[in-house]
Structure 1
Amino acid sequence: MSARMTILPYLFIVLLGITFGHDLKGSGFCEFYNETSCLEAKEGCTEREECDPPEPNKRNHCYVVWRLDNETKKSVIQLKGCFLDAAECYDQADCVERNPDTKNGLLFCCCDGDMCNQNFTWRPLPTQPPSVVHEYEDDSKTEQQVITLILSIIIPIVILAFALPFLYWCYRHRKLAYFNEVPTLEPLPLPPPSPNLGLRPIQLLEIKARGRFGAVWKAQLKNELIAVKVFPIQDKQSWQTEQEIFKLAHMDHENILRFIGVEKRGDNLQTEFWLITAYHEKGSLCDYLKANVLTWPEMCRIAESMARGLMHLHEEIPANKADGYKPAVAHRDFKSKNVLLKADMSACIADFGLALIFHPGKPCGDTHGQVGTRRYMAPEVLEGAINFTRDSFLRIDMYACGLVLWELASRCTVQDGPIGEHKLPFEEEVGIHPSLEDMQESVVHKKERPLILETWRNHPGLQSICVTMEECWDHDAEARLSASCVMERVATLSRTLVLNSSTLI
């Protein structure tokens, strides 16, 4: 029997192992690089990125997108970072591209493990298997040699009959992962606009953020800057949920992100789903607080407008002559990354991929309550003890609202003492990448909450904010404040500030 025939079964088994293998750890940190934002920088562009916590039964990987310079034949990195769950990346300790075919001149590799994308390489597999040469001595064929010859022909044919469909499936799956799970430096070629599809002439400029469900691009539509959230094909449900929320009556509100439209781009495996909204240069509240401190008026403006947006989302509004009925909506992933800052420092709420609509007389229909970002999960969510009612879900949002108020207070300049760097809620208690068990131990069993410094309480306004956040994150869900109550309290503080300033003058 030939060596070729002996190796093929093992090659088939190895391919199965690579495709279906699992590594429970995944990637917590990856090397991050974006060529677009580093064109003018000479050094220091490469960073370490913390991957967002994945959904249950999924995990993060690290990736690299690069091209080969035609003249120097050197690798030119275009993108590095985290992305969510692809079978081809499981158990890959090294970042290696093996596909001999490049897509639009780009090469891609992914791997499992922290910072595994620091090094990468291209080792293409041969496009055609080497020919097999059998030599037989015509004058000394025995019965055993005849049997061996027959087996050496039949067995490879049988193996290939099973292996080729499987390898074709892997190839198609690889194409899906390549085009839809990795953010690209430039948009892929799109089909020409069709009057039936109503595609807008949108130019994607640069990636501004990456989240659980896709990448957010800064883009241009005619003379207007817009934001385009690109969902890969596997996250179509989140795209549908977001547009369903945006299309509800009365959702055109100054403290809710302005919705422009949706589009489906590409065909078949290259399909992408676009959510088009207003663009806000200041970005998310989380990112703004990392680089900036807040004055007392700025903090009040952000807190009041944020609470006003949450109140509008939670509110049930009857139909009128101009608009239809708006049911109550729970956000379910409220956090500082999903609050955007406008140019005037007012806030608007975004990212409704996990939101839940409460239609009157109908059950909420949610079968899995433990969703959202772990560090912002309320005690009852961490325990898996949610009452599946409208008020229960609205109170979960208010717990998270208390944590965002804490983030605002921690960066406000009126506190009596030095202002520390921005930290996420519970970062001191559980670190930057907590597990579900870490959060359960801290929040449920120890009943810990983010530390409120005594120096904050020396300012009467900040003292009132501290009391408000404590009443929002109360362990007893029924004791928590509503969004309207938070909004009214902060609005009163703002008016008091104006009156006091006028008196002093």
Structure 2
Amino acid sequence: MGRCVFLFLLLQTLQTLAEDGQLLCVCEGSGCLNSPQCEGSQCYSSVAVSSHGAVVTRGCLQGSEKTRLICSTASSLSHALLCCSSFMCNRNATASSLLPLLTTAPEEEPVRYRVETLALFVLGPVVILTLLSVLSVLGCRRLHHGRLQRLQEFDPEQDAIDGLITSVGDSTLAELLDHSCTSGSGSGLPFLVQRTVARQISLMECVGKGRYGEVWRGQWQGENVAVKIFSSRDERSWFRETEIYNTVLLRHENILGFMASDMTSRNSSTQLWLITHYHDNGSLYDYLQRVPVETGEGLAMATSVACGLVHLHTEIFGTEGKPAIAHRDLKSKNILVTKELRCCIADLGLAVTHSQSDNQLDVGNNPKVGTKRYMAPEVLDESIQTDCFDAYKRVDIWAFGLVLWEIASRTYSNGIVEEYKPPFYDQVPNDPSFEDMRKVVCVEQQRPFIPNRWFSDPTLSALVKLMKECWYQNPSARLTALRIKKTLNKIHSSLEKGKKS
């Protein structure tokens, strides 16, 4: 995880430098403060010749006025300077490449003065930046002093985190999560607590396998938790899902409760763990295969999925806000059923985020594109606008329509219910290819089969109309998650009125 976080931070740094008009340069010399690189508006390379030989110095220049002054300094008998304006452009500068620039200085021109001036302008910004950095660190340490002090008291042998909570051993997961939510540390536990909890979990039984790895039922202090163990080749999915789950304000009753993430070594191999709430009913896919549902139960399940999707798609503004998130792999296998027969959305490894403040679209670095059976037409025919966040939300709406169809197909009406079948079960093979789905959805523009019995039931008939509005070939014509949620609430109100009358 350390390598991934480093690369992620490096990419963010390069992007920030590019946006600010800054260059990354090689830094070599007394003013570099043991850092091989520096940031500035221009890079420079200089050579100074003395009785001891030629000394090459490389670094950054900051500020247009100072840059023009220094770079316009003429070469002399003992000193030459070369400025450049591209990424790491001074990395190949050597004494042999700079010595030809030396010229004979006029007798009255004091070379010593120009060298001192250069040193002043090179070292001055470095000293100022150093002081600012020190002040920033001291400020952050003071701001977070209480929290850092508590975390430093962590003792892995005693399984305690003094100050953060009275005692990990005496706290339930709900109490730990409540504390983390009120402390503003994201949707999961603080990172140090995550590692503590992760390393105290006992794996009890494997409850599922997929392309990413395995899901186990684990126990922590007698409480059941779900442990998703990623294979080592899926490190990017694990990192992305961890990153998304740690988003501030993500926690919601219809989003799977995230607790911890850890990279651990077991049985002499590295394992990537993602620890979440455990739900005995399993996924919606598993539940619908086992149990048909009453109309009210089916509506409640569909509404809870819509509520989770609304929360994902909605950006919350403010300094402690939340970006808008599109799932990109919504399906019944990625939705879990709680003991109250409500649903929560899981598996955020392919999620895309967007913030209006900087119009930043973050698609992550995971090349997987989702599940073929649930892919929208624009994904299958590759016409999706990959630089438009709304396009990803509309893909989620298409998939939600298919999930709604799955729930409706297992909902009783007049005592009748179908056996569970996946969407397009009668039109494509069990494991459809990309081309199978493209032919059915894009070329033939087919949709899942709607049984006649649904139209004789007012609730199912209303759901049919709703799901069809999620399946428009034109993505921009599809409903929003918020409109779906409001429509489902109206259908539920009509059902309740019908029962009373």
**TM-score by shorter chain over 0.5:** yes
Q: CA deviation at 1:501?
A: 2.1
**Once the two structures are superposed, what CA deviation does each residue of 1:183-220 show, in whole Å capped at 9, x if it has no partner?**
xxxxxxxx999997534311111111112211010111
1:287/1:193 Cα in 2 relative to 1: closer, same or farther (>3 Å)? farther
One-letter amino acid matched to 2:331: K
Number of aligned residues: 309
**Which residue number corresponds to residue 106 of structure 2?**
none
SS at match of 2:273: strand
SS at match of 1:442: helix
**Which residue number corresponds to residue 235 of structure 2?**
236
1:252/1:374 Cα in 2 relative to 1: closer, same or farther (>3 Å)? same
**Which residue number corresponds to residue 422 of structure 2?**
424
Q: CA deviation at 1:288?
A: 0.6
Q: CA deviation at 1:455?
A: 1.2
Answer whether contact 1:398 1:480 (CA < 8 A) is retained: yes
Which of 432, 448, 452 is the aligned partner of 1:434?
432
Answer whether contact 1:236 1:273 (CA < 8 A) is retained: yes
SS at match of 1:428: coil
Q: CA deviation at 1:237?
A: 1.1
Matched, 1:257 2:277: no
Cα distance in structure 2, aligned partners of 1:396 and 1:193: 48
Answer whether contact 2:352 2:361 (CA < 8 A) is retained: no
Q: CA deviation at 1:378?
A: 0.2
Cα distance in structure 2, aligned partners of 1:407 and 1:390: 27
**Which residue number corresponds to residue 331 of structure 1?**
327
**Which residue number corresponds to residue 87 of structure 2?**
none
**Which residue number corresponds to residue 276 of structure 2?**
277
Answer whether contact 1:370 1:384 (CA < 8 A) is retained: no
**Which residue number corresponds to residue 315 of structure 1?**
314
TM-score after normalising by structure 2: 0.59
**Once the two structures are superposed, what CA deviation does each residue of 1:38-67 show, in whole Å capped at 9, x if it has no partner?**
xxxxxxxxxxxxxxxxxxxxxxxxxxxxxx
One-letter amino acid matched to 1:331: H
RMSD: 2.2
Q: CA deviation at 1:367?
A: 7.9
Q: CA deviation at 1:474?
A: 0.9
SS at match of 2:448: coil
Answer whether contact 2:326 2:351 (CA < 8 A) is retained: yes
**Which residue number corresponds to residue 497 of structure 1?**
495
**Which residue number corresponds to residue 464 of structure 1?**
462
Cα distance in structure 2, aligned partners of 1:366 and 1:245: 10
**Which residue number corresponds to residue 338 of structure 2?**
342
Q: CA deviation at 1:365?
A: 4.7
One-letter amino acid matched to 1:466: V
Answer whether contact 1:369 1:381 (CA < 8 A) is retained: no
**Once the two structures are superposed, what CA deviation does each residue of 1:350-403 show, in whole Å capped at 9, x if it has no partner?**
001111111332244568887100000000000111102110000000000000
TM-score after normalising by structure 1: 0.58
Q: Which has the higher helix share?
A: 2
**Which residue number corresponds to residue 482 of structure 1?**
480
Instruction: Return structure 1 stretches of 4+ with deviation > 3 angstroms.
Output: 191-197, 363-370
Q: CA deviation at 1:254?
A: 0.4
One-letter amino acid matched to 1:330: A
**Which residue number corresponds to residue 37 of structure 2?**
none
SS at match of 2:207: strand
**Which residue number corresponds to residue 82 of structure 1?**
none
Cα distance in structure 1, aligned partners of 2:397 and 2:344: 16
Which of 353, 356, 359 is the aligned partner of 2:349?
353
**Once the two structures are superposed, what CA deviation does each residue of 1:218-270 show, in whole Å capped at 9, x if it has no partner?**
11101211100011222111111111111112111000001111112107971
Answer whether contact 2:299 2:488 (CA < 8 A) is retained: yes
Cα distance in structure 2, aligned partners of 1:192 and 1:213: 32
One-letter amino acid matched to 2:216: W
Cα distance in structure 1, aligned partners of 2:352 and 2:494: 36
Answer whether contact 2:353 2:363 (CA < 8 A) is retained: no
1:443/1:368 Cα in 2 relative to 1: closer, same or farther (>3 Å)? farther
Cα distance in structure 1, aligned partners of 2:263 and 2:445: 45
SS at match of 1:219: strand
One-letter amino acid matched to 1:275: L
**Which residue number corresponds to residue 451 of structure 2?**
453
1:438/1:192 Cα in 2 relative to 1: closer, same or farther (>3 Å)? farther
Percent identical: 40
Cα distance in structure 1, aligned partners of 2:440 and 2:382: 15
Q: CA deviation at 1:413?
A: 0.3
SS at match of 1:266: strand
One-letter amino acid matched to 2:247: L
**Once the two structures are superposed, what CA deviation does each residue of 1:458-493 show, in whole Å capped at 9, x if it has no partner?**
111111100000000111101101111111111111
Q: CA deviation at 1:500?
A: 2.6
Cα distance in structure 2, aligned partners of 1:486 and 1:285: 19
| Larger RCO of the pair (alpha carbons < 8 Å, separation 6+) | 1
Matched, 1:225 2:187: no
SS at match of 1:381: helix
One-letter amino acid matched to 2:290: A
Gaps of 5+ in 2: 1-155, 161-191
One-letter amino acid matched to 1:308: C
Note the 1:168-187 alignment, pairs <5 A: none
Note the 1:53-452 alignment, pairs <5 A: 197-198=195-196, 199-266=198-265, 270-319=269-318, 324-360=320-356, 361-365=359-363, 371-388=369-386, 389-414=388-413, 418-452=416-450
Answer whether contact 1:392 1:477 (CA < 8 A) is retained: yes
